[in-house]
Amino acid sequence: MRKTFFNRPELRHAELDAPRLVPAPGAGNDEADKAAPETTWRRVHLGLGRWIYPLALMAALIVAWEMVVEGFALPRYILPSPSLVGLTLWEKWPIFLAHTWVTFQEVVAGGLLGIVVGIGLALIMFFFLPLEKALYPFLIASQNVPVFAIAPLLVVWFGYGFLPKVLMAAIIVFFPITVSSLDGLKRTDPDLVRLFRTMGATPAQMLWKLRVPAALPALFSGLKISAVYATIGAVIGEWVGAGAGLGYLMLSANAQLRVAEVFGAIICLTPIGLMLLGVVILAERILLPWQRIARESRIGRRFELQP
Amino acid sequence: MNGIEADSALVVDSLCKSYATRSGAYPVLQRVSFTVPRGAFVSLLGPSGSGKSTLLNILAGLEPADSGVVRVLGRPPHAPLPVAYMQQKDLLLEWRTVWGNILLGAEIKSRAQRDAMAEQARELLREYRLEDFADVYPAQLSGGMRQRAALIRTLLCEQEILLLDEPFGALDALTRRILQRHLLHVWESMGKTVVLVTHDVEEALLLSTRIVLLSNSPGRVVDSLEINLPHRVRAQSTELLRLKTQIYRSLGHDEENIFQSA
């Protein structure tokens, strides 16, 4: 007897079970097929374009810079050529590395301190409304005081060492963290709060299962800003008084018109901020996988069930 | 009165509620009374502004009433009601997978409760054809699937009474029909008591065993209908047409009048 669909029960089951996963009407098969070439192009575009375009721009700028310096025969104490900056970095790399390491430590320590203080402050303000009302104006006002104004005071109080730079970075970092996490905590969907109440959630459950997870995306926005700003704090701290660090290196080189070294220090400064930003973005991807998934599936719902 | 109350699960007696506005107290509910027999499917039907959602919020314990009593028979008068509450918004937690979402109610009770519910959760996922999506985040689901997950979560709260506030209002007509069938199935097989708020006359007629009609602001009970037809035959029933006309008339929407004035 020929085997057909009807005398092979195992096949029949497969038939019944298989078609459960079908594309949503909005992202149906037809559309997906039509969109395929465009998607491939987009992927190439995103993968390469992300790096190729900025790298090309950078190369063009460096070439233009080199040509300007050569063409106008600018003295090296006004504007050194990029090749000279590269050479200086190459020849003095142990010095640059040592100072970068100092600044890096200050930035990381200051950033962590700022994060802890920032989140703590946000939690305190969230749970004690009078405290929020009392603190918030000061918090805003504190941001109108230029950090430069505080830096010399920190030197007077804490000397020329590691601590005032850490504090400087922390002072710059805590504000975006506090504001973003407080905002995140406050913007919990009130309907979700009501749902938790009907389920009989305790205040602790309300915090850990609802408010904190709901606030995390906002917190990460603050963290990204902070990762970039922390370096500024540390460098300012070094400018007003230090014996080491890239800010110190910059200032002493500047005073002696060794401008190529100033540029070298600036180049060493960038990867610190970029690295911290990278760590924050990586942490976000690991801790909030649902966010990326939500972003991606905004293009179209992934699944639709057959009725 | 005792006769009615004896087989009632939920008694709502003379509920009044008003909200304070700038121009004084604005009444939302005025002496609303009705009973929900145990195991019944009761729809609260009324136009928008009839205080249906406020009423359900009071039943869910989210808002206090100004006066009046809500109680479940056989329980102390001020004990929290054994209700599970579901809204038009599915209110899934975006940071939890479907599995984490549907077990939320059990998890809030205790970890042991959550483990105990796992088997039932799997069964419900299978029944609602969501078993392949247990590890998926809500953002990846369609509206109908999200609402189904929300319904499973509501069922897994293990409460006798389900309070549903226009649960299918945001869905397209076809998906809504499928979910209505699911809901009926759940109601029949799990022996729950359902209180459904809706402004959809058809929905109320197709699903309920009793319809409580609420008038426009302030909400008052204007009529209460019993529907004893089996659910299977309802879609084709002429009796339902008659009830529909009666409902529109009770709510002040006499179809003949509408067409005459048009």
- pLDDT tens-place string over residues A10-23: 433 333 333 344 44
Task: Identify the CATH class of B2-82+197-261.
Answer: alpha beta
Domains in chain A: how many in total?
Answer: 2
* Residue A266 forms part of a structural domain: yes
* CB–CB contact B144 A305 (8 Å): yes
Nearest to A20 among B57, B132, B139 (CB): B132
For strand A303-304 and strand A22-23, is the pairing parallel, antiparallel, or unpaired? antiparallel
More confident residue, A113 or B173: A113
Nearest CA in chain B to A205: B108
* CB–CB contact A303 B175 (8 Å): no
Task: Give the number of beta-carbon pairs within 8 Å between A and B.
Answer: 81
pLDDT at A175 over 70: yes
Cβ atoms of B140 and A296 within 8 Å: the answer is no
Find the mean pLDDT for residues B139-155. 88
Residue B106 burial (CB < 10 Å; 0-12/13-18/19+)? buried
CB within 8 Å of chain A, chain B residues 110-139 = 129-130, 132-133, 136-137, 139
The residue range of the domain holding A61 is 20-70
Please check whether residues A112 and A240 belong to one and the same domain: yes
Highest mean pLDDT among A34-38, B145-149, B187-191: B145-149
Closest-CA distance, A307 to chain B, in angstroms, reads: 7
| Band of pLDDT at residue B24, cut at 50, 70 and 90 | confident
At A82, phi and psi to the nearest 5?
-60, -30
* CB–CB contact A303 B133 (8 Å): yes
Please check whether residues A183 and A57 belong to one and the same domain: no
Please check whether residues A95 and A174 belong to one and the same domain: yes
Please check whether residues A114 and A66 belong to one and the same domain: no
* CB–CB contact B62 A197 (8 Å): yes
Please check whether residues A57 and A168 belong to one and the same domain: no
CA angle B165, A199, B13 (to 5 degrees): 55
Please check whether residues A157 and A52 belong to one and the same domain: no
* Residue A8 forms part of a structural domain: no
Nearest to A290 among B60, B94, B130 (CB): B94
Query: Which residue in the block uniquely carries the two structure tokens 């966010």?
Result: A291
For strand B41-45 and strand B193-198, is the pairing parallel, antiparallel, or unpaired? parallel
Q: What is the CATH number of the domain that holds A269?
A: 1.10.3720.10
| Band of pLDDT at residue A38, cut at 50, 70 and 90 | low
Q: B105-132, pLDDT tens digit by residue?
A: 888 888 887 888 888 899 888 888 888 8
* Residue A208 forms part of a structural domain: yes
Q: Is B84 on the interface with A (CB under 8 A)?
A: yes
Please check whether residues A168 and A209 belong to one and the same domain: yes
pLDDT at A269 over 60: yes
pLDDT at B177: 86
Nearest to A194 among B62, B104, B109 (CB): B62
Q: Where are the alpha helices (H) located in chain B, listed in sequence order?
A: 2-6, 52-59, 98-102, 104-109, 111-127, 143-155, 173-190, 201-207, 238-250, 255-261
| Band of pLDDT at residue B98, cut at 50, 70 and 90 | very high
Nearest to A297 among B61, B139, B145 (CB): B139
Name every chain A residue with its beta carbon within 8 A of the beta carbon of B166.
none
Q: How far apart are CA A162 and CA B8, in angstroms?
A: 74
Find the mean pLDDT for residues B167-178. 83
Q: How far apart are CA B214 and CA A256, in angstroms?
A: 86
Please check whether residues A183 and A207 belong to one and the same domain: yes
| Band of pLDDT at residue B1, cut at 50, 70 and 90 | very low
Please check whether residues A58 and A150 belong to one and the same domain: no
Please check whether residues A66 and A84 belong to one and the same domain: no
* Residue A168 forms part of a structural domain: yes
Closest-CA distance, A186 to chain B, in angstroms, reads: 16
| Band of pLDDT at residue A61, cut at 50, 70 and 90 | very high
Please check whether residues A129 and A278 belong to one and the same domain: yes
Name every chain A residue with its beta carbon within 8 A of the beta carbon of B82.
none
pLDDT at B170 over 60: yes
Nearest to B108 among A192, A200, A213 (CB): A200
Query: Which two three-digit tokens encode residue B173?
Result: 């007509």
Closest-CA distance, B116 to chain A, in angstroms, reads: 17
Residue B25 burial (CB < 10 Å; 0-12/13-18/19+)? exposed
Residue B199 burial (CB < 10 Å; 0-12/13-18/19+)? middle
* Residue A224 forms part of a structural domain: yes
Interface test with B, best of A194, A199, A211 (most B CBs within 10 A): A199
* Residue A150 forms part of a structural domain: yes
pLDDT at B87: 84
Q: How far apart are CA B85 and CA B157, in angstroms?
A: 9
Name every chain A residue with its beta carbon within 8 A of the beta carbon of B146.
none
Nearest CA in chain B to A204: B108
* CB–CB contact A21 B132 (8 Å): yes
Please check whether residues A36 and A102 belong to one and the same domain: no
